[in-house]
Amino acid sequence: MNGNDILPALPEIVLLAGACALMITDLFVKDERRAVSFALAQSVLLACAAATTFVLWGTGGRLVYTFHGLFVADVLSHVLKLAAYVSVAAALVYSRRYLLDRGLLKGEFLTLLLFSLLGMMVMMSANSFLSLYLGLELLSLCLYAMVALNRDSAQSVEAAMKYFVLGALASGLLLYGMSMIYGATGTLTITEVAKQVALLSRDSTQHTFLVFGLVFLVAGLAFKLGVVPFHMWIPDVYQGAPTAVTLVIGTAPKLAAFAMAIRLLVNGLLDLAADWQQMLAILAVLSMAIGNLAAIAQTNLKRMLAYSTIAHMGFMLLGLLSGVVGGNWLNAADAYAASMFYVVTYVAMSLGAFGMLLLLSSKGFECEQLEDLKGLNRRSPWTAFIMLVLMFSLAGVPPTAGFYAKLSVLSAVVNAGQVWLAVVAVVFSLIGAFYYLRIVKLMYFDEPKDITPVAGDTEFRVLLSANGMALLVFGILPQPLMTLCFVAIKSL
């Protein structure tokens, strides 16, 4: 193996070396604020971004396979990795004061966060069931440990146990599905699986066997996305984990789950699209229904955002199931690009929403209840405005990025001839708007429980403001990001 074979995996190598260096360095850091460790973690992310850009420039955006076909570098993987770096870097800034106040800002959190990012990156560049599963397990094991980071909290430990048990079950389903597909095709490489499936799907017996394995694959994938009926872990884990960890779980891993869906379903099993699209349609409708309806009944903000996540992931699935309908491929790139735009936008919205909870939390106080947002406009008008933008974007109100994301997905669904699905999605979006606008009402029209001005580090407030403004900018000028998503999907 020469240097050209290793070059596509340069970002992963840089991250692995950086995470190991951070783990060793933190042993000698005595400062409780972990300034050195924190700076090193951010530097590693910056180095990874530079390495990814270098690889993208060096390969000219071409498809490059390495490690005997286990690993692929393409525009899709590069774009998703860059989005993941931004998400994790923002999570570090948002989480710092919260973790410091609770004595949780330790090398363990920083190291686990970087190793979880490594798992995401492996998933994004996986071209084999083997590498995809290894990346998924690395990500999952890190997240289990992070949920239980606050060992003194019975709620956090309980959430970690639930997450671990259900995650193990989902991994088993996914692995079983992969083994059945392997048994039918005789290969673990996703591109080779696609060739074999194209041949085998013409035989009715083989087709039935493939669909049986596909059911388990979709079940495992649905768990990682957190869609109904594999959503049981999300509300409890979101509420039980420290808010800083909830922010991590609700953001960057969604990018990896989207990459996993694209690699498995679009790259590998596109000739079975008629079968998995029916499954995704059921999952999408159920997720939008239960997610939005259950969120209305929540008084805990983290649980409300958990059910909101379920609804949004259901909406994202609409783009995936609208790509190839009845053998027509003309809509495929637009539909998958719309789905990618949606998940990137959702990560930005989720970052801002959980970042706001972290900003409003303080030592000895958790901003978790709806009533904690009462009268926020009187305490800090700018903070309330940013929260308003975030809620409008999550609800899909123009001119925010959330509106354009929903519009692009609905357009793809209608172009695929599935008007009934678009109607269902619009109805549940209108229902979901209620609980987002309820927060706006609490901030602007209710009396505050506490008149203390909102405190926060300058870098935190600046980043949160930029987060909110980005959603407005991409709502008014969405084309650059949408074009980038389209180019990434076309690279497949």
Cβ contact 358:375 at 8 Å = no
pLDDT of 326 reads 66
pLDDT, one tens digit per residue, over 214-240 is: 999 999 889 888 898 888 889 999 998
pLDDT of 50 reads 94
pLDDT of 31 reads 73
Q: Using the predicted structure, report yes or no on whether residue 471 has a pLDDT greater than 90.
A: yes
Residue 207 φ/ψ, nearest 5 degrees: -60, -40
Comparing 71-80, 174-183, 363-372, the range with the smallest average pLDDT is: 363-372
Q: How far from 197 is each of 187, 189, 212, 401, CA to CA, in Å?
A: 11, 12, 13, 38
pLDDT of 427 reads 93
Residue 4 pLDDT level (bands cut at 50, 70, 90) = low
Cβ contact 168:244 at 8 Å = no
State the average pLDDT over residues 419-443. Answer: 91
Report the alpha-carbon distance of residue 49 to residue 406 in Å, rounded: 29
pLDDT of 17 reads 94
**325 pairs with which residues across the strands?**
328
Residues 6 or more apart in contact with residue 334 via CB below 8 angstroms:
411, 412, 415, 486
Report the alpha-carbon distance of residue 226 to residue 232 in Å, rounded: 8
Structure token pair of residue 456: 């926060």
Residue 459 pLDDT level (bands cut at 50, 70, 90) = confident
Report the alpha-carbon distance of residue 420 to residue 406 in Å, rounded: 16
Residue 436 pLDDT level (bands cut at 50, 70, 90) = very high
State the average pLDDT over residues 377-394. Answer: 90
Structure token pair of residue 17: 């070396």
Structure token pair of residue 140: 């999952």
pLDDT of 332 reads 81
State the average pLDDT over residues 415-432. Answer: 89
Report the alpha-carbon distance of residue 150 to residue 44 in Å, rounded: 25
The number of residues making up the chain comes to: 492
Cβ contact 356:409 at 8 Å = no
Residue 203 φ/ψ, nearest 5 degrees: -90, 125
- Give the count of alpha carbons within 13 A of 58, CB side only: 18
Instruction: Supply the pTM of this predicted model.
Output: 0.93
Instruction: Write the burial class of residue 54 (CB in 10 Å: 0-12 exposed, 13-18 middle, 19+ buried).
Output: middle
pLDDT, one tens digit per residue, over 298-310 is: 888 999 999 999 9
In the block, tokens 């972990």 appear at 34
Residue type, 154: A
Report the alpha-carbon distance of residue 491 to residue 481 in Å, rounded: 15
pLDDT of 287 reads 93
In the block, tokens 């994938």 appear at 221
Report the alpha-carbon distance of residue 239 to residue 300 in Å, rounded: 8
